[in-house]
Amino acid sequence: MKTLLQLDDVHTGYGLTEILHGVSLTVNDGEIVTVLGANGAGKSTLLMTICGVNPTREGDILFDGQSIANRPAHEIVRAGISQSPEGRRIFPRLTVRENLEMGAYQSGRLDNLDRMFTFFPILKERQKQLGGTLSGGEQQMLAIARALMACPRLLLLDEPSLGLAPLIVIKIFEIIREINQAGTAILLVEQNANMALHIAHRGYVLETGRIVLADTAPNLVNNDQVKKSYLGA
């Protein structure tokens, strides 16, 4: 299998504090990889660094063999990485349709709109509504759809289950699996380790800015340490 994304000893931080102290991980083509970790471990920072929002202070990030470290965010989107960030971050005063159009800003693939509307019928119903008026689950779908509008080769998902009702969480994870089966590699950051490991192929455990464990998903599910800290067993 071909390596799609490779992080090599990445350091980053805000101001005087360093948050990631040398993170290395890989995502292969067609994989779902999950990163587990407690609050403040640096998971979101990790995704923001991949997307070029945070600077990479040391180390390198390779996407499809090309270095994307410290490239501007919009070039990284153009290269084929898009993110559905933590808290969904829908543009509240743009309509649903406009939110989706913004997702296709780089790709220009407005024809994707129809695909998204068949994928998420609820969004079609609400397309004239302002983004800020959607419910949490709808916003999450919109966030994922918006990220998919860019036709990414790698989709980064940050806490897609956050603050959603259990039934909707299950639905979201089904959607994630479907997206993956359609050929998009996914890097999934989750606190809901159970669900995440359930659909992922491989996983990493991030603790205070360092990768402490890396294994296949089934092995992680059976790992005592993971069980104790993240699965609540």
Distance CA 88, CA 62 (A): 26
Binding-site residue total for another protein (CB under 8 A)? 32
Strand partners, 135: none
Q: What is the DSSP string of 112-153?
A: HHHHHHHH-HHHHHTTTSBGGGS-HHHHHHHHHHHHHTT--S
CA-wise closest residue to 122 among 98, 140, 104? 140
Residues 105-124 that bind another protein (CB under 8 A): 105-107
Nearer to another protein, 155 or 217 (CB): 155
In the complex, least distance from residue 86 CB atom to another protein, rounded to whole angstroms? 11
In the complex, least distance from residue 111 CB atom to another protein, rounded to whole angstroms? 15
Distance CA 168, CA 138 (A): 9
Any contact of residue 14 with another protein (CB under 8 A)? yes
Any contact of residue 98 with another protein (CB under 8 A)? yes
x/- map, 121-140, another protein, by CB under 8 A = ---------x-x--------
x/- map, 46-75, another protein, by CB under 8 A = --x--xxx------------------xxx-
Run of H or E residues at 13: strand 3-14
Helix intervals (H) in the chain: 43-50, 73-79, 96-103, 112-119, 121-125, 136-148, 166-181, 193-199, 217-222, 224-226
x/- map, 75-94, another protein, by CB under 8 A = --xx---xx-x---x-xxxx
Nearer to another protein, 116 or 220 (CB): 116
Nearer to another protein, 76 or 226 (CB): 76
Helix (H, G, I), strand (E, B) or coil at 61: strand
Give the binding site for another protein (CB under 8 A): 14-15, 48, 51-53, 72-74, 77-78, 82-83, 85, 89, 91-94, 98, 101-103, 105-107, 130, 132, 146-147, 149-150
